Amino acid sequence: MAPDQVNNSELDSMVRHVLTLDDTFSMPSGLAEKTIRRLERRVLLRELILELSLKAALVIGSLAIFTGIFVLINGKSVIETLFARFSDNRQIIAPFLVVALITILIDQLGLRFYNRYHQEAV
């Protein structure tokens, strides 16, 4: 039987059958809880990363729309002017962007993951 063809009830019955065959086999205590906690952490982290990606896409999309409208109103030379200003001041702008990115990652992923995980564990 292929692994893709096994459904939950068949898998449960197979595990029960194997466990009843050998009386000397014992499951470590807390294995189910540890497995559930790992799965919860994985799902929580995936959810937070998806939420952060959605927020980033919304911000980038909004900036793209704003830039498009700005270019339509003032012409294409606006992009060249903005790019020249950003490249001239990149030594000032880059640290602020790095600090902002680190702060957003810590806030959106680190603290929320830590907070939710420890609330669920209690």
- Give the model confidence (pLDDT) of 24-82 as tens digits: 667 777 888 888 888 888 888 898 889 989 999 999 999 999 888 888 888 878 888 88
Please state, in angstroms and as integers, the Cα–Cα distance from residue 78 to each residue in 68, 84, 121, following that order.
11, 10, 53
- The answer to whether 117 and 44 have CB atoms below 8 angstroms apart is yes
- The answer to whether 49 and 113 have CB atoms below 8 angstroms apart is no
CA distance 31 to 64: 49
Q: Which long-range contacts (CB under 8 A, 24 or more apart) does 110-119 make?
A: 112/48, 113/41, 113/44, 113/45, 113/48, 116/44, 117/40, 117/41, 117/44
In the block, tokens 């012409």 appear at 75
Q: What is the pTM assigned to this prediction?
A: 0.60
